[in-house]
Structure formats: structure tokens, C-alpha cells
Amino acid sequence: MNIRQFRYGTDGNLGYLLWAGGEAAAIDGVAPDEILEFAAAEGLELKYVTNTHEHWDHIHGNDALLKASDAVNITTDMMCRIKILKLGDEQLEAFPTPGHSEDSIVFYFKDDEGGAMLTGDTLFNGTVGNCYTKDYELYFESLQKVLRFPPETMIYAGHDIFSYTTGVMDKIDPDNPHLSDYKDSYSADLLVTTLGQELKVNPFIRFDDTALDDYRAGLGMPLNTPYERWRAMMSVH
Ligand SMILES: [Fe+2]
């Protein structure tokens, strides 16, 4: 599977084109002109237009992509039902990850290098999304599904908020030995991370990391279970 990241607007919205065997899918295609231009230059047929969730900042490119192509719009609801999109001989799969929004899904594909996930606003470089559903237990379950993937899995998120999230890490976890390399790895040309890297630095998915115990103890919330430790951290999210 091939993947290309596109950037839109001042709040770091990230959209993606995935393709294999000449067939492509736009996921959160926020930069439709650039995506169409790229697809034409590469000789790709845009077959699907879909999203990690249907918040406006992720779907506003859909209409332009659909008008300019014969692509089919696969809603998040449909994607949850069909689970798999075929591109050439390869498969793009999705599973529901409600929490940030009710309809959030994560896409993934496997390859020889360990595969990749498109996490939308469920998991970012250095943080997780806002829990707009207010169903924290459900969001926590969704994160468990994401964390089951191998550490080498590449993570492509829905926004570049890297400078904000590393600022939060500086406050929460300033002595983290991995933080400096993590910051140095930043490139605006391609914002990508791995699950393994996130498990070293992202304070919002390290439920069992004792390095965060002192910080969490200051939050005045119960800390007896992984969920409670996550919920406490989300109080400063
Ligand atoms: Fe969102």
C-alpha cells in the first residue's frame, strides 16, 4: 500500500491518499485540488472517498473529490459495516474507535514493514483526541484496540499539533529520556510516528508507566486501574 499525506489550513489538518494497483482511496481528503492533481500525475483512479470521522474539518474536501471523479463516498457508518476496502490486490481495513466522536474509526493496512494505522483524531503524535462523546470508558476501550497493534506500526494522525503536544510533555514528563529524540524527529513534510515511539513519550497512552505516577498523584483522582490512571490524565488534557 502506498500512502501520501496532504496538509490543509492553519490548524494542521492532515489528509491522505492511499493506493495500490492504480486504485486509490482518499481518507479525510482535506486538500482536494492537490489530491486530484497528484492522483492524475500518478495515473491513479480515485475509487473511494472516506473519513476517519465526520467532523467538518475532516470532510470538507469530500464534495470536490466526488464531483471531480467517479469515486464512491463510503461513510464511516458504511465502513464499519463493510470493514474492508480493496485497492488493487491490497486491503484497507477499519475498525470502530468511538470516543472522540461516536463515529470515529481507525484504518489500517499490513505490509512487510509492520503496517500502518490512520488514527484520525483518536490518537495523535504525543496525545489523544478530545473526548467529545464524554464516554471516557468507551474511548479507553477504543485506545486498547489501537494499542494491540505491533510497536513498529506507523501512525498517521488527523492533525499536526506536534508543537502543542511536545509542550504538554515538557510540563508533564520533562525528564523523559526519549523526549529530545522525539522532538528532533519532527518533519513538517511528513508527520508520522510509530506506536512504539508513542508508548515511550505520549503521556495519554502510558497508563502503566510508573514514571508518570508522581504527576498523576497530584491530580487528586483515583489511580487504582489503568482506566483510572488514564481518566486522571485526561483531566489535564
Ligand atoms: Fe475531530
**pLDDT-based confidence at 10, cuts 50/70/90?**
confident
29 CA to centre of ligand 1 in angstroms: 14
Helix (H, G, I), strand (E, B) or coil at 196: helix
134 CA to centre of ligand 1 in angstroms: 14
H or E element that contains 180: helix 179-184
The architecture in CATH of the region 2-234 reads 4-Layer Sandwich (3.60)
| Over residues 126-154, mean pLDDT | 98
54 CA to centre of ligand 1 in angstroms: 7
Percent of the chain past pLDDT 70, that is, above it, reads 100
44 CA to centre of ligand 1 in angstroms: 28
**pLDDT-based confidence at 9, cuts 50/70/90?**
confident
| Over residues 133-146, mean pLDDT | 98
Helix (H, G, I), strand (E, B) or coil at 61: coil
Query: On the CB side of 87, how many CA atoms lie within 13 Å of its CA?
Result: 26
pTM across the whole model = 0.96
81 CA to centre of ligand 1 in angstroms: 21
123 CA to centre of ligand 1 in angstroms: 11
Instruction: Name the β-bridge partners of 20.
Output: 23
52 CA to centre of ligand 1 in angstroms: 9
The pLDDT value recorded for residue 114 is 87
203 CA to centre of ligand 1 in angstroms: 20
Percent of the chain past pLDDT 90, that is, above it, reads 96
**pLDDT-based confidence at 176, cuts 50/70/90?**
very high
Place of cell 479525510: 28
List the domain boundaries for the chain.
Answer: 2-234
Instruction: Name the β-bridge partners of 27.
Output: 16, 50
Q: Is the pLDDT of residue 167 over 80?
A: yes
| Over residues 17-21, mean pLDDT | 98
116 CA to centre of ligand 1 in angstroms: 20
112 CA to centre of ligand 1 in angstroms: 30
Q: Is the pLDDT of residue 11 over 80?
A: no
pLDDT tens digits for 205-236? 999 999 999 999 999 999 999 999 999 999 99
Q: Is the pLDDT of residue 113 over 90?
A: no
The pLDDT value recorded for residue 226 is 97
Higher pLDDT: 10 or 16? It is 16
| Over residues 66-89, mean pLDDT | 98
Q: Is the pLDDT of residue 5 over 90?
A: yes
89 CA to centre of ligand 1 in angstroms: 31
